[in-house]
Structure 1
Amino acid sequence: MYRIRNIHAAGMAALGLLLSACSPSDPFTKTSKSLAGEVLLPAYTQWAESDRRLAASAIAYCAGNEDLAAAREAFFQAQRAWAGLQPLLVGPMGEGNRAWQVQFWPDKKNLVGRQIAALLKNNPQLTRADLESGSVVLQGLSAYEYVLFDEAVTLQDSATKARYCPLLIAIGEHQQQLASEILEQWKAADGMAAQLSKFPNERYADAAEAIADLIRVQVTALDGLKKKLGAPLGRQTKGHPQPYQAEAWRSDATLISIEAAIAGAQRLWQGADGKGLRQLLDSDQAEIATRIDRAYEAVLQELNAMGQPFSELIADQSGRERLNTLYERIDTLHRLHQGELAGALGIQIGFNAHDGD
C-alpha cells in the first residue's frame, strides 16, 4: 500500500508539472499573452487608424479641403505606423506577400514611377477597381509617396492634381481596407491575439512556439533594417552610394522609418510594464539582457544625434560615416537577437526573407 501511494504521489506530481508548463502562470504564456494584448494589438490598431486618416486625407486634399502640407503629414503618420509594425509582422500580415501591398522596396528600376505613368495613361478615368487589378507596386505607400513628393508631379497645377487625385484616393481606400481586415483577423475570437494567448491552438502547439515566432520576426526586421540602410550606403556596391535605394527617399522619411522600426522592436523587447521578451531571461542571463538594453540605447542615441535628414547625410563623406556608424549599431542589435537572445531561449532562427540579398 505504501508503494502504491508513492507511485500515485509521483504520478500526480508529474501531472502537476505538465499542467503548470501549459498554464497561464508559465512565463512564456504570460509573456506571449501580454505582448499580444499590450504591444502587438495596439500597434495594429494604430496602423489601421493611421490608414483611416490617410484615406480621409486623400479625399479632403482632392476636394480642396486640405492643403498639401496636411496631406503629406498624413502620409508621414502612415509611413511611421507601418515602419513601427515591421518587427511585429507575425501572423496574417506576414503571410501571402501582403506587405508588398503596403510598401514596395527596393525599387531599383523606378518601377513605381513607370507603372504609375502606364496606369494613368491606360486608365484616364481611374477607379479603385483598376488599382485593385493592377500590380502591388501601385497599391501602397511607395506609390502614394511618389504622387505627393516626386519632382515629376507638380500638384500645384490643377490639371496635374486632377489627374493624380483618383490614384491617391484609391490607394488610401485600399490601405484602409487592408489594415481594417488585418486588424479584424487579430481581434477575432480565434484570431491572432487569441492564438498568442491560449495554447494549444491551430497555429501554435505551445507558448514557446509563439515566442520563437515573435523573435524570428524581430530578427528578420532588424536584418531588413540593415539592408535598407546598407543599400543606399553602397555596402553591396563597393562603397558607391545609392541614395535612391533608400526607403522613402522621395519624402526623406528614411531616418523616421528606421527610428519607428527600432522603437517597435524595443517595445517587443521591453513589453508593457516590463512584460516583454526581456523577462524570459533568467537571472544568470542578466548580462545578455543588459547588452541588449545598451544596444537599443546606442541605436536610438545615434538616431537622435543625426541632426540632419538622410538626404543631406548621404551626400557627403562625414554624413556617410555617421550613417555607417548607425549601421554598425543596428548590426550589433541584430546579432544580439539572432545569436545571444535566441540561443539563451533555445530558439533556432533558421533562414529569413532577407537571406541571400
Structure 2
Amino acid sequence: MKYKQLALSVAVLTALSGCQTSSDTSDKPEKTNHLSQGVYEVEYGSAQALAAQSKTLSQVMSFYCASNTDIEAVKQTWHETMVRWMALQGQERGPEEALAQSWNIQFWPDKKNTTGRKMSALIRQDQSATQEDIAQQSVTVQGLGSIEWLLYDKGSDLIDNAQTCSTATSITTNIELNTASIAQAWSTNPWVELDEKRWESEYIALLSNQLEYSMKKMSRPLANFGKPRPYFSESWRSETSMQNLKANVEAMQALYFANGQGLDALLREKGKAELADRIANQFAMTVETWPAEQSLFSMLQTKPGYQYAYSQYNKLEQLKYLIHEEVAIELGVIIGFNATDGD
C-alpha cells in the first residue's frame, strides 16, 4: 500500500513538472537556419528532459524522507534520471557551461571507490549536509553516483537515519540545480558561427566522443581477457550498467538522424546512401539486440558471460569504425584524440 501511495505521488509530481515545463514560454529551443539546427534541437530536448527528471527525483526523495514510505519508487526515479543523463554523458562538444557540469552530475570512472569512501565519511558527520555544503564538497558526493550509493550500498543507512535522508535531499537538490544550469546553457545553439566544414567536423567529433566514452564504460571492466574488473562497471551497485549503455546508443542514434536533419540525411545528400544504410542498420541492430536487462557486473563473473559482454562491445566497435573511419574519410574530417578516461 505504501509503495502504491509513493508511486502515485511520483506520477503526480511528474505530471506537475510537465505542466510547469510546457507552460513556460521560454522553454523552446532557439530557432536558426544553421545546418546544426536538427542536432541542436535533439540536444536541447535531452537537456530539458534531464532537468525535468532531476526535479522529479528531488521531489520524490523529499517526499520519501518526509513519509518514510517504500524506497523502490525512489530507486526507479533515480534510474530514470540516470537514463536521461545518458543522452548527454561523454560529450565534449557543446556549451562550455553545460560541459563544465559533467563531473558534478556523475563521477566516473571511480577507480578507487572514492565515492564509497567519501559517502561513508559524509553520513558519519555530526549533522546533515545542506545543498550549499554539498556544492562545496568533492564531485564524488555531488552527483547521481552518490545517490546510487545511498540507495544500494550496504554501508548506507538511508532507510533508518533521518539525518542521512536529509543529506540525500540536499544532494538531489544540488543535482536539480546543476541540471537546470545545463538546460539553460542549451537555450541557445552553440554552433551557429561554424561554417559547413567546421560544423561537419564538430558533429562527427560529437558522435565520436560520446561513442568512445560508451566504449570506455565496457573496456574498463572487461580489462584483460581472464582478468575482468567488474567493480569498474558503471552503476555496478544497482546492476544497471547495460541499461545505461542501451540509453547511450539510443541517444547517439537520435543524434545521427536528428529528425531528418542529421548525418544520415547529409550522407544521402552526398550520394553515400549505402554508407548511411550501414550505419542506420548497425544502430538498429545494436539497440534491438542489446541485453539491457542483464547485469554487466554479473556477466563478468563467468567466462561465457565475459564472452557475451565482449560481443556487445564489438557492436560498438563497428559503430566506431563506421563513424570514426568511413564517415570521417568521406567528409574529409580529421577526428582528434578523445580524453575520456578521467586520468
TM-score band (shorter)?
Answer: 0.7 to 0.9
- Gaps of at least 5 residues in structure 1 are 1-22
In structure 2, do the counterparts of structure 1 residues 212 and 336 end up closer, same or farther at CA, with 3 Å as the change threshold? same
CA distance in 2, matches of 1:124, 1:114: 18
8 Å contact from structure 2 (residues 90, 213) kept in 1: no
8 Å contact from structure 2 (residues 222, 230) kept in 1: yes
CA distance in 2, matches of 1:123, 1:89: 39
8 Å contact from structure 2 (residues 87, 251) kept in 1: yes
8 Å contact from structure 2 (residues 209, 338) kept in 1: yes
Question: Which of residues 57, 61, 64 is equivalent to 1:58?
Answer: 61
CA distance in 2, matches of 1:266, 1:105: 23
**Where does residue 237 of structure 2 map in the other structure?**
250
Q: Does 1:48 align with 2:51?
A: yes
Q: Secondary structure at the match of 2:226?
A: coil
Question: Which of residues 114, 121, 124 is equivalent to 1:121?
Answer: 124
TM-score normalised per structure 2: 0.84
% of aligned pairs identical? 29
**Where does residue 348 of structure 1 map in the other structure?**
334
In structure 2, do the counterparts of structure 1 residues 63 and 207 end up closer, same or farther at CA, with 3 Å as the change threshold? farther
Question: Which of residues 297, 304, 325 is equivalent to 1:311?
Answer: 297
**Where does residue 231 of structure 1 map in the other structure?**
220
CA distance in 2, matches of 1:315, 1:347: 41
The offset of 1:90, in angstroms, is: 3.0
**Where does residue 40 of structure 2 map in the other structure?**
36
CA distance in 2, matches of 1:111, 1:123: 21
The offset of 1:312, in angstroms, is: 2.9
TM-score normalised per structure 1: 0.80
Q: Secondary structure at the match of 1:284?
A: coil
**Where does residue 301 of structure 1 map in the other structure?**
288
The offset of 1:212, in angstroms, is: 2.2
8 Å contact from structure 1 (residues 88, 265) kept in 2: no
**Where does residue 152 of structure 1 map in the other structure?**
155
The offset of 1:180, in angstroms, is: 0.9
CA distance in 2, matches of 1:60, 1:122: 23
**Where does residue 3 of structure 1 map in the other structure?**
none
Q: Residues 207-263 of structure 1, C-alpha deviation per residue, up to 9 Å, x if partnerless?
A: 44234223212101111111111111223xx53111110001111110111000000
CA distance in 2, matches of 1:175, 1:93: 18
- Gaps of at least 5 residues in structure 2 are 1-31
Q: Does 1:216 align with 2:205?
A: yes
* Rg (Cα) greater in structure: 1
AA partner of residue 58 (structure 1): M
8 Å contact from structure 1 (residues 84, 257) kept in 2: no
Q: Secondary structure at the match of 1:212?
A: helix
In structure 2, do the counterparts of structure 1 residues 355 and 180 end up closer, same or farther at CA, with 3 Å as the change threshold? closer
CA distance in 1, matches of 2:61, 2:250: 28
The offset of 1:308, in angstroms, is: 2.9
Q: Secondary structure at the match of 1:63?
A: helix
**Where does residue 20 of structure 1 map in the other structure?**
none
CA distance in 1, matches of 2:99, 2:284: 34
The offset of 1:307, in angstroms, is: 5.4
CA distance in 2, matches of 1:64, 1:355: 40
8 Å contact from structure 1 (residues 144, 171) kept in 2: yes
**Where does residue 261 of structure 2 map in the other structure?**
275
Larger mean Cα displacement after TM superposition, 324-333 or 175-184? 175-184
**Where does residue 322 of structure 2 map in the other structure?**
336
In structure 2, do the counterparts of structure 1 residues 232 and 118 end up closer, same or farther at CA, with 3 Å as the change threshold? same
Say what the alpha-carbon RMSD is for the aligned residues: 2.3
8 Å contact from structure 2 (residues 97, 185) kept in 1: no
Q: Secondary structure at the match of 1:240?
A: coil
Larger mean Cα displacement after TM superposition, 54-63 or 118-127? 118-127
CA distance in 1, matches of 2:126, 2:316: 43
CA distance in 2, matches of 1:40, 1:307: 26
In structure 2, do the counterparts of structure 1 residues 328 and 130 end up closer, same or farther at CA, with 3 Å as the change threshold? same
The offset of 1:103, in angstroms, is: 0.8
Q: Secondary structure at the match of 1:108?
A: coil
8 Å contact from structure 2 (residues 38, 262) kept in 1: yes
Question: Which of residues 292, 295, 312 is equivalent to 2:279?
Answer: 292
